[in-house]
Amino acid sequence: MLVGMLAARKNPKRRATRLRDPERTRERLLQAASREIYRSGFQSASLDTILASAGVTKGALYYHFKNKEALGYAVIEEVISPDVRGTWVQPLESVKDPIDALISIVQDLSVRPEDVCGGCQLNNLAQEMSPLDAGFRKRLEIIFDAWREATASVLREGQIHGNVRRNVEPADAAGLLIAMVEGYGSLAKNAQDPKVIKAGIKNIVGWLRSLRAPGNRKRG
């Protein structure tokens, strides 16, 4: 301690004077953590890499978060959850035709070429951490449940208004849709070929059309 002081005095190297904006610092940390977790997984994303990517020092990190685990939890709740909500839940609120709405969402998944779909980040983290850490699992399950419930709900409403076939079980169909999206996301990520996700979207859309109530088909 004394040595450190003396050294600091002897060699007054320029200190990194930073933002002094705690909210912004926290947000930068979350975004950087999200990026690095997406790149290499939670366990393999090193704090030093995250900090470098965020342009933030370790002291700032541990001022805002108790530890790496807490940072991961915050990424789920404050980055991934809003993203899934924005992609899959909010667009379904107060729509006329649920099938059309779902098709529209699915087709929009291809616009982001690199990160095949935001849902994949959810899937990545779930695959990696759910068996290892109950805290991750619970938080991720909440997102999955919201996704499934929003989809099932809109399908139920569609059944009431006669847009959706009565013999589909909304909860089952919602689960199947999510499984398809996640599954194709995996395949596309592995193939690293946008053609895979395009083909997947085509197939998912075809399946979604098959849910439409007879006499309610739009085209063809």
CB of 175 to a copy of itself, least distance (A): 6
Among 27, 31, 41, 68, binds DNA (CB under 7 A): 68
Bridge partners for 212 per DSSP: 164
Q: Which amino acid is at 155?
A: L
SS3 for 17?
coil
DSSP assignment, residue 79?
I
CA distances from 41 to 16, 57, 129, 171 (A): 29, 21, 9, 30
The reply on whether position 46 binds a copy of itself by CB under 8 A is no
Give residues with Cβ within 8 angstroms of 67, minimum separation 6: none
The reply on whether position 56 binds DNA by CB under 7 A is yes
Nearer to DNA, 71 or 188 (CB): 71
The answer to whether the CB of 103 falls within 8 A of the CB of 205 is yes
Bridge partners for 164 per DSSP: 212
The reply on whether position 182 binds a copy of itself by CB under 8 A is yes
Nearer to a copy of itself, 41 or 91 (CB): 41
Q: Which does 140 bind (CB under 5 to 8 A by kind): DNA, a copy of itself, none?
A: a copy of itself
CB of 55 to a copy of itself, least distance (A): 24
Positions touching DNA (CB under 7 A) are: 1-5, 7-9, 13-22, 25-26, 45-49, 56-60, 62-64, 67-69
